[in-house]
Structure 1
Amino acid sequence: MNIESLTTETRNMNTMNLDQMTVMEVLETMNNEDKNVPAAIEKAMPQIESVVYQIVASFQKGGRLIYTGAGTSGRLGILDAAECVPTFGTEPEMVQGLIAGGMSAMTVAVEGAEDSRELGKEDLITINLTKDDIVIGIAASGRTPYVIGGLLYAAEVGATTATISCNKGAEISQYASFPIEVEVGPEILTGSTRLKSGTAQKLVLNMLSTVSMIGIGKVYKNLMVDVRPTNEKLVERAKRIIMEATECSYELAEATFLAADENVKVAIVMILTDATKAEAEEKLVNGKGFIRNTLK
């Protein structure tokens, strides 16, 4: 294995004496290095845009978004997938994260798991991957065998394939129809890709999931209208969202929220179109889930 050519493995000339710096000097250096991340992402925006369109297309076919990765990359995919449930009211199956070594690898590294192409394939077989799904392989190095194995199987099934890596000309890019490469430069701690590379991956994942959810009607204006009110804080947030969307009183928002069986989107349409719960639900079905389509 030759990793010497990978930017993510090279030494950062700004931190050759990292162990001799003061605490503040290290902090300032980290902060300055992190400032390079958004600029690197900006260069990859056209590729990110293409992947968003592919995710939306998969959702519209009833397909799923599947992230696959090892170590930090796998954990970030699982984090993004998990956050879609409360934020956008999705079912857990709609956006999923797979990590080499299984869920136990979220907290304890599973030695050798990331080096197996077969495991990458097997994990996708386990979730019954179909041609309507999209698989996004995440690997800072851009060469993780587990991810490559998953991408090869996804292509075999006919699923859409995309990747997120932090090296130019990444190996995994060869196995994806829609590769994203965000080169953030050497880490301050050589090879520690949980730092800038991890930050870049997280920001790209934020974009992919959020913009895709906007694309299927889970946002009205800038409000998360499909939020799932699973705790006291989210119940209050749901009522505030109804108030913001309709400019109604707290009392009307609360009453309609309850009348809509705590479905924020339905409650908003009930108020905006003076409709019953059943009528609002029908309007949303006809409007393909977009609140704006119910107002025409």
Structure 2
Amino acid sequence: MRSLPGLATEGRRSGGAGIDLLSTVELARVMNAEDRTVPEAVGAVVPEVAAAVEAIVERMGRGGRLVYAGAGTAGRLGVLDASECPPTFGTEPGLVVGLVAGGPAALTAAVEDAEDDRAAAVADLDALRLTAADTVVGVSASGRTPYALAAVEHARRLGALTVALAGNRGSALGDAAEHRIEVVTGPELLAGSTRLKAGTAQKLVLNMLSTLVMVRLGRTYGDLMVDLRATNEKLRVRARRIVTLATEAEPADVDAALTTTGGRVKDAVLLLLTGVDAPAAAALLARHGGRLRDALHEVLNEALG
């Protein structure tokens, strides 16, 4: 593996030695200018992201799971992305999983030596009973973190799909995976502090992976989160708004549809747009794997003939 000091993520910015002498507003502007380069760097790997999404969707269509594995910031970002999938997309527990080196304790405290524990990565994946239908995304700014690397290598041996998300080109992690996504954001404002630009790039790519996968799996209807779980008042208001936007129905009708369907947004939309009752809406969605658009097309095609 390439030596750590030679990696772009470990480099030192030109002019960085004097940043502590800048005024606070000047320092904020410098940092903001550095941060603005991140979306462009992510944009350069869009084809690689798209290819990974299509491969992940194919595996998940066979009943597979999406698993992120990383250490430190990278691992925490994976856990964050995974934890947002159930409320946003109504995913079942365990469909999207985040593994962080050091376990749950590493979410709120630094467990720095855990990133070197290759055996722990293997054990964490084995605890999930990984199968060939699953996908493992190793996340590492350096692209050489032992925990992430071991996770990808072990997953590939088991036949799972493997994806590398790294911050350096030609990374060992990329070499180990079937799909490589290497976002080069260069030296950090604070040399080697990859929670900054590299971490931001990882967050953007993880957003893309989970969101685009869920769109392709039919967990949305257009840009609407129709699989949202309304577990608090804010989300109940959002659910009513989503149904309204999808159907243009009157508020009273929206509330009645949501009540009839037990708060299930997709079912309520189908009920309002087609006139079917709640059991028929549920059956239609089950027949089409939860894809609202496909269920609507079936009803429309039957009406036409």
Q: TM-score, normalised by structure 2?
A: 0.95
Q: Which runs of 5+ in 2 are unaligned?
A: 298-305
AA aligned opposite 1:66: V
What is residue 128 of structure 1 aligned with on the other side?
129
Q: Is the 8 A contact 2:72 2:112 kept in 1?
A: no
What is residue 282 of structure 1 aligned with on the other side?
283
Deviation at 1:286, TM superposition (A): 2.7
Deviation at 1:54, TM superposition (A): 1.6
Runs of 4+ more than 2 Å apart = 285-288
Q: Is the 8 A contact 2:258 2:264 kept in 1?
A: yes
What is residue 177 of structure 2 aligned with on the other side?
176
User: Matches of 1:294 and 1:158 in 2, distance apart?
Assistant: 33
What is residue 110 of structure 1 aligned with on the other side?
111
Deviation at 1:287, TM superposition (A): 2.6
**SS of corresponding position for 1:210:** helix
Q: Is the 8 A contact 1:82 1:92 kept in 2?
A: no
Percent of aligned positions that are identical: 46
User: Matches of 2:15 and 2:3 in 1, distance apart?
Assistant: 24
Q: Is the 8 A contact 1:88 1:224 kept in 2?
A: yes
**SS of corresponding position for 1:17:** helix
Q: Which runs of 5+ in 1 are unaligned?
A: none
What is residue 267 of structure 2 aligned with on the other side?
266
Q: TM-score, normalised by structure 1?
A: 0.98
User: Matches of 2:13 and 2:93 in 1, distance apart?
Assistant: 40
What is residue 292 of structure 1 aligned with on the other side?
293
* Alpha-carbon RMSD: 1.0
Deviation at 1:109, TM superposition (A): 1.4
Cα distance per residue 1:108-163 (max 9 Å; x no partner):
11231101111111110111111110000000011000011111110111000001
Cα distance per residue 1:217-267 (max 9 Å; x no partner):
111121000000111110111111111100001111111101001111011
User: Matches of 2:73 and 2:215 in 1, distance apart?
Assistant: 27
**SS of corresponding position for 1:112:** helix
What are the equivalent positions in structure 2 for 1:24-35 lying under 5 Å apart?
24-35=25-36
User: Matches of 1:63 and 1:14 in 2, distance apart?
Assistant: 48
What is residue 237 of structure 1 aligned with on the other side?
238
Deviation at 1:2, TM superposition (A): 2.1
Deviation at 1:57, TM superposition (A): 1.2
User: Matches of 1:25 and 1:116 in 2, distance apart?
Assistant: 41
Aligned residues: 296
Cα distance per residue 1:257-289 (max 9 Å; x no partner):
010011110111111111011111122123332
Deviation at 1:52, TM superposition (A): 0.6
